[in-house]
């Protein structure tokens, strides 16, 4: 009997000292960062798969369950995840630390004023900032701070992992920039304004968008205008996210000789994009091939 | 329009005049509530009324104002939020009816056991569809069982609700218990209370579970109960039992398949005179109704669906209506505009004969203001 009690006590002590921080993220990309930083001292889950449109997520009770037992909820912010407040409220988790990673990001496309005639414009600016890898170190710092708050004893461990990840990323950034340098100044068409940070980083110009306005479906007239633009501007690539309908982009490509390039806008967006670095490897290789 | 109507319209108009421009000018929502305005219009025709020669002919298409909802909601403080829905109902544009559809506060944080408490006037969580406003339905007409057993406005009452998440591991399950003032039991559900007696409170409850059945599919099932006094003169009680099911398969951003339905069972004792003018004789009524619909979104802007309804009434198990519907939804620019076309055939099997009524309805609506994400 005494042995049994001792065993139970040991199990309870070991369970208590494991100190795993439970993290849930909106995007898979953020889950990848959290895993790299938290290592074996965190568990990570996410809401939006890479092949789903992060703007439109149905409020499911299963998402609330994910947050119910979480310590930290990492978000892109800037109203990309307009659905998040309902999931947070539904989780009924008063201890949840909600972390908006956009706090210290230099924001692009911040509108002076907005109304619905401009389409689905985000009032705090374009929220697709994670697609500029130089912003990742800013996000990583925010994640380290939140993890250290949740588990102060592990702060050094988290910082060391974060530093290693940022170093690895910096090497890759130099590699990606070298690969794309010959294409600086080239013009492309993108479906949505997801690639503003990405193209701005690489010095590529976005000549037009398949959507007439953000979030608004392509119209025949707008598609015809883009065909004209692509012919005159020597456009070689039309970038489309995995979850958008490619019909209008294909029509432009057929009429102009440009290529429709399906890039992963998030980790999990295709089978090659298994983490952030492999996603960027894929996107850079695919785009450079199309622009060649 | 008479003076009373002007006074009735003062509240929503004031809301629009003050809150909407201020809201837009400031471009922020920290202090001002999110406000949406959703008007619905309906063009309809049916062949319910026989023509002069006795044959069934379609009526002239009637294009009318159906309803306008003004929805405002926001956090009150770190612990609670509040939501208000004011409805202006047609079809009479000269004398529209103004009603407070919902006004409630929900305390979401700071309570023991992570309880949520809601109080005010609201659509009671009895079944799944009752909490959904008509503008968010896939179809134009209200399912017959909801109309006959809950009323045209659904089960909507002054109430207090207690909601708790149950400790069922990774499965989301929730229990709601509502105490209702019983004001909504008059009319369709029961007899209008013209006595000066104290209100006869009712109670409702729903237990639901949510199951992830695959990478792209989910299932919600629920069971609800409702009881209250339907006959205030004889203190007679009624009992409703309701089962609901919703299954959704969404293989891609633009396609989804939804199967949803509810079954309601009614038990009550009622005076015979309500049906047969036999005052004093009490009969036991056990009746039921159900609806089931299948909705298929095949493109970003289009969906088609079909629905089957069958319903008795709260006071009769033999007065049954059957209806079959097909409908098409068109949502051209996100959800700011919506058009729904529905054909419904309703049959009323009278003893010895069977009468059918055909209905065509085209609903047009627009939505002004922010759009909240859709709950499952």
The pLDDT tens digits for A122-175 are: 889 999 999 999 999 999 999 999 999 999 999 999 999 999 999 999 999 999
A47 neighbors A91 (Cβ within 8 angstroms): no
Residue of B nearest to A241 (CA): B253
Q: Both tokens of residue B207?
A: 């237990």
Print burial letters for A94-118: b (CB count within 10 Å at least 16), e (below 16): eebbbbebbeebeeebeeeeeebee
3-state secondary structure of A177: helix
Q: Would you say residue B52 lies in a domain?
A: no
Continuous segment of H or E residues that includes residue A53: none
Mean pLDDT check: name the lowest of A67-71, A180-184, B7-11, B34-38: B7-11
Could A86 and B372 be called an inter-chain contact, meaning their C-beta atoms sit closer than 8 Å? yes
What is the C-alpha radius of gyration for chain B, rounded to an integer number of angstroms?
22
Task: Note the pLDDT tens digit of each residue in B87-104.
Answer: 999 888 888 889 999 999
* B310 contacts: CB under 8 Å, gap ≥ 6: B144, B145, B289, B290, B291, B320, B321, B322, B323
On chain B, the residues whose CB falls within 8 A of the CB of A56 are 253, 373
Could A92 and B250 be called an inter-chain contact, meaning their C-beta atoms sit closer than 8 Å? no
Min CA distance, A235 vs chain B (Å)?
28
Could A93 and B114 be called an inter-chain contact, meaning their C-beta atoms sit closer than 8 Å? yes
The domain made up of A175-291 has a fold known as Rossmann fold (3.40.50)
On chain A, the residues whose CB falls within 8 A of the CB of B165 are 68, 92
Q: Would you say residue B337 lies in a domain?
A: yes
Please state the separation of Cα A3 from the chain's center in Å: 51
With vertex at residue B310, the alpha carbon angle to CA B304 and CA B312, rounded to the nearest 5 degrees, is 150
Cross-chain CB nearest to A65 (options B114, B170, B376): B170
pLDDT of residue B313: 94
Could B109 and A94 be called an inter-chain contact, meaning their C-beta atoms sit closer than 8 Å? yes
With vertex at residue A162, the alpha carbon angle to CA A157 and CA A166, rounded to the nearest 5 degrees, is 155
Cross-chain CB nearest to A245 (options B24, B171, B254): B254
3-state secondary structure of B75: strand
Determine whether domain A17-170 maps to CATH 3.40.50.1980.
Answer: yes
B305 neighbors B326 (Cβ within 8 angstroms): yes
Taking the Cβ of residue B220 and every Cβ of chain A, the question of whether any pair is shorter than 8 Å is answered with: yes
Domain range for B343 is 103-366
Burial degree of B253 (CB within 10 A; 0-12, 13-18, 19+): middle
Beta bridge partners of A46: A25
> How far is A49 from A244, CA to CA, in rounded Å?
14
All CATH 3.40.50.1980 domain ranges in chain A, comma separated: 17-170, 175-291
Q: Whats the size of chain A, residue-wise?
A: 292
Continuous segment of H or E residues that includes residue B153: none
Could B114 and A94 be called an inter-chain contact, meaning their C-beta atoms sit closer than 8 Å? yes
pLDDT of residue B276: 45
Q: Would you say residue B113 lies in a domain?
A: yes
Q: Would you say residue B60 lies in a domain?
A: no
Cross-chain CB nearest to B375 (options A59, A82, A94): A59
Taking the Cβ of residue A40 and every Cβ of chain B, the question of whether any pair is shorter than 8 Å is answered with: no
> How far is B10 from A51, CA to CA, in rounded Å?
48
pTM for this prediction: 0.87
> How far is B172 from A178, CA to CA, in rounded Å?
49
Taking the Cβ of residue A246 and every Cβ of chain B, the question of whether any pair is shorter than 8 Å is answered with: no
> What ipTM score was computed for the predicted complex, to two decimals?
0.85
Read out DSSP for B321-339?
A: EEEEEEEEEE-SSTTTEEE
Q: Would you say residue B93 lies in a domain?
A: no
Taking the Cβ of residue A245 and every Cβ of chain B, the question of whether any pair is shorter than 8 Å is answered with: yes
Here the CATH number for the domain that contains residue B128 is: 2.40.160
Task: Note the pLDDT tens digit of each residue in A32-52.
Answer: 999 999 999 999 999 999 999
> How far is A239 from A245, CA to CA, in rounded Å?
12
> With a cut of 70, which residues of chain B have pLDDT below it?
1-30, 195-196, 273-280, 350-354
pLDDT of residue A139: 98
Taking the Cβ of residue B280 and every Cβ of chain A, the question of whether any pair is shorter than 8 Å is answered with: no
Q: Quick one: angle between helices A61-68 and A84-91, nearest 10? A: 60
Beta bridge partners of B268: B238, B285
Q: Would you say residue B224 lies in a domain?
A: yes
Query: How far are the Cα atoms of A27, A62, A149, B90 from residue A34, in angstroms, in the given order?
Result: 11, 21, 14, 54
Continuous segment of H or E residues that includes residue B81: strand B80-89
Residue of A nearest to B301 (CA): A217
**Could you give the number of structural domains in chain B?**
1
3-state secondary structure of A104: coil
Could A56 and B250 be called an inter-chain contact, meaning their C-beta atoms sit closer than 8 Å? no
pLDDT of residue B28: 44
Min CA distance, A203 vs chain B (Å)?
31
């Amino acid at each position: 009997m005494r042995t049994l009690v001792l065993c139970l006590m040991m199990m309870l002590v070991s369970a208590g000292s494991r100190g795993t921080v439970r993290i849930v993220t909106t995007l898979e990309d953020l889950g990848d960062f959290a895993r790299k930083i938290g290592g074996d001292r965190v568990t990570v889950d996410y809401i939006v798969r890479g092949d789903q449109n992060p703007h439109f997520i149905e409020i499911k009770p299963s998402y609330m369950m994910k947050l119910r037992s979480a310590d930290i909820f990492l978000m892109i912010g800037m109203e990309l995840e307009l659905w998040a407040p309902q999931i947070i409220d539904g989780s009924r988790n008063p201890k949840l630390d909600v972390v908006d990673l956009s706090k210290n990001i230099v924001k692009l496309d911040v509108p002076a004023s907005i109304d619905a005639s401009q389409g689905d414009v985000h009032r705090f600016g374009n929220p697709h900032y994670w697609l500029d890898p130089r912003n990742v170190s800013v996000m990583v710092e925010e994640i380290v701070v939140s993890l250290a708050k949740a588990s102060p004893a592990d702060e050094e461990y988290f910082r060391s992992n974060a530093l290693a990840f940022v170093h690895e990323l910096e090497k890759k950034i130099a590699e990606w920039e070298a690969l794309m340098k010959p294409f600086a100044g080239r013009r492309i068409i993108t479906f949505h304004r997801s690639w503003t940070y990405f193209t701005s980083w690489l010095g590529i110009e976005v000549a037009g968008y398949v959507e007439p306005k953000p979030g608004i479906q392509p119209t025949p007239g707008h598609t015809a205008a883009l065909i004209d633009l692509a012919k005159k501007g020597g456009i070689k690539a039309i970038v489309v996210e995995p979850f958008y309908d490619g019909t209008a982009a294909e029509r432009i490509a057929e009429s102009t000789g440009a290529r429709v390039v399906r890039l992963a806008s998030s980790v999990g967006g295709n089978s090659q994009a298994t983490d952030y670095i492999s996603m960027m490897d894929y996107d850079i290789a695919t785009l450079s091939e199309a622009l060649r | 329009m008479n003076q009373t109507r002007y006074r009735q319209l003062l509240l929503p108009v004031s809301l629009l005049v003050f809150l909407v421009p201020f809201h837009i000018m400031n471009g922020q929502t920290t202090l001002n509530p999110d406000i949406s305005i959703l008007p619905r219009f309906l063009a309809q025709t049916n062949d319910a009324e026989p023509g002069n020669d006795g044959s069934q002919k379609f009526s002239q298409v009637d294009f009318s104002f159906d309803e306008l909802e003004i929805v405002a909601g926001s956090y009150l403080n770190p612990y609670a939020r509040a939501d208000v829905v004011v409805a202006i109902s047609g079809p009479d544009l000269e004398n529209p009816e103004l009603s407070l559809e919902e006004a409630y506060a929900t305390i979401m944080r700071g309570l023991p056991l992570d309880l949520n408490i809601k109080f005010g006037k609201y659509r009671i969580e009895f079944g799944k569809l009752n909490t959904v406003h008509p503008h968010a339905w896939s179809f134009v007409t209200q399912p017959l069982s909801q109309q006959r057993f809950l009323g045209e406005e659904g089960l909507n009452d002054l109430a207090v609700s207690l909601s708790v998440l149950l400790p069922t591991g990774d499965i989301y399950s929730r229990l709601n218990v509502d105490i209702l003032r019983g004001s909504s039991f008059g009319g369709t559900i029961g007899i209008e209370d013209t006595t000066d007696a104290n209100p006869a409170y009712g109670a409702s409850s729903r237990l639901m579970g949510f199951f992830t059945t695959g990478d792209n599919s989910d299932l919600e099932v629920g069971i609800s109960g409702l009881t209250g006094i339907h006959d205030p003169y004889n203190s007679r009680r009624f009992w409703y039992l309701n089962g609901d099911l919703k299954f959704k398969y969404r293989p891609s951003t633009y396609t989804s398949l939804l199967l949803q339905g509810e079954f309601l069972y009614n038990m009550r004792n009622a005076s015979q005179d309500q049906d047969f003018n036999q005052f004093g004789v009490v009969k036991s009524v056990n009746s039921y109704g159900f609806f089931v619909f299948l909705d298929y979104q095949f493109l970003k802007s289009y969906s088609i669906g079909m629905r089957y309804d069958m319903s008795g009434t709260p006071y009769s198990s033999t007065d049954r209506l059957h209806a079959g519907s097909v409908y098409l939804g068109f949502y051209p620019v996100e959800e700011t505009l919506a058009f729904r076309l529905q054909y419904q055939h309703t049959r009323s099997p009278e003893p010895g004969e069977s009468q059918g009524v055909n209905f065509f309805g085209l609903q047009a609506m627009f939505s002004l203001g922010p759009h909240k994400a859709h709950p499952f």
